[in-house]
């Protein structure tokens, strides 16, 4: 999800801000997380987020990476999907569809029918016969960036570099 990273640090969303730690007695599973990736110079190279939303059959769970400096996507992987075999499962089986998310598209993403795009840098060709499922992946990413960018823009707490 984050090419060129040397390491990453997990940050938790606590009271609307990023935190390296959880409140005392808190359960980790109850908090949203962002994974901040750093290069060998300890510069931020990207952010990875995991989230899910309802698809055609059930919740589609996606992890995706993006560069907070320019909003470009760096990758995406379907973590869990019960979409229709042979159609909706193409969101992770159709390599042409998946590869689009690693080509650095700009956000917000826009789903277009194959061949109907205008060549804009934020267009993602949806999958014929699996339009709902492919649009759900696009929505998950757009909603995730929309939710997390204001939080990231508030600042990323510094960690003690070992």
SS3 sequence of 76-95: EEEEECCCCCCCCCHHHHCH
User: How far is CA 29 from each of CA 6, 47, 69, 109, rounded to the nearest angstrom?
Assistant: 26, 19, 28, 29
- Provide the pLDDT confidence category of residue 28 given band limits of 50, 70 and 90: very high
List pLDDT tens digits, range 70-85.
999 999 999 999 988 8
116 within some domain: yes
160 within some domain: no
Which of 13-27, 28-42, 65-79, 147-161 comes out lowest in average pLDDT? 147-161
Parent domain of 64: 7-153
List pLDDT tens digits, range 128-156.
888 899 999 999 999 999 999 999 999 88
Q: Percent of the chain at pLDDT above 90?
A: 85
Residue 90: Cβ-neighbour burial (10 angstroms; 0-12, 13-18, 19+): buried
158 within some domain: no
161 within some domain: no
1 within some domain: no
Around Cβ 159, how many Cβ atoms within 10 Å?
Answer: 12
57 within some domain: yes
Mean pLDDT of the chain: 93
- Res 130: pLDDT: 81
Inform me whether the pLDDT recorded for 160 exceeds 60.
no
The count of structural domains within the chain is 1
43 within some domain: yes
């Amino acid at each position: 999800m984050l090419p060129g990273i040397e390491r990453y640090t997990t940050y938790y969303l606590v009271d609307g801000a990023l935190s390296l730690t959880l409140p005392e007695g808190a359960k980790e599973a109850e908090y949203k997380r962002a994974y901040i990736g750093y290069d060998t110079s300890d510069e931020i190279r990207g952010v990875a987020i995991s989230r899910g939303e309802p698809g055609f059959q059930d919740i589609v769970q996606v992890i995706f990476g993006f560069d907070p400096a320019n909003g470009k996507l760096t990758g995406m992987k379907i973590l869990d999907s019960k979409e229709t075999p042979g159609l909706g499962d193409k969101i992770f089986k159709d390599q042409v569809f998946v590869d689009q998310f690693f080509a650095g598209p700009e956000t917000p993403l826009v789903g277009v029918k194959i061949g109907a795009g205008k060549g804009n840098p934020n267009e993602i060709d949806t999958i014929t016969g699996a339009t709902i499922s492919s649009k759900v992946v696009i929505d998950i990413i757009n909603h995730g960036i929309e939710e997390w960018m204001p939080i990231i823009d508030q600042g990323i707490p510094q960690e003690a570099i070992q």
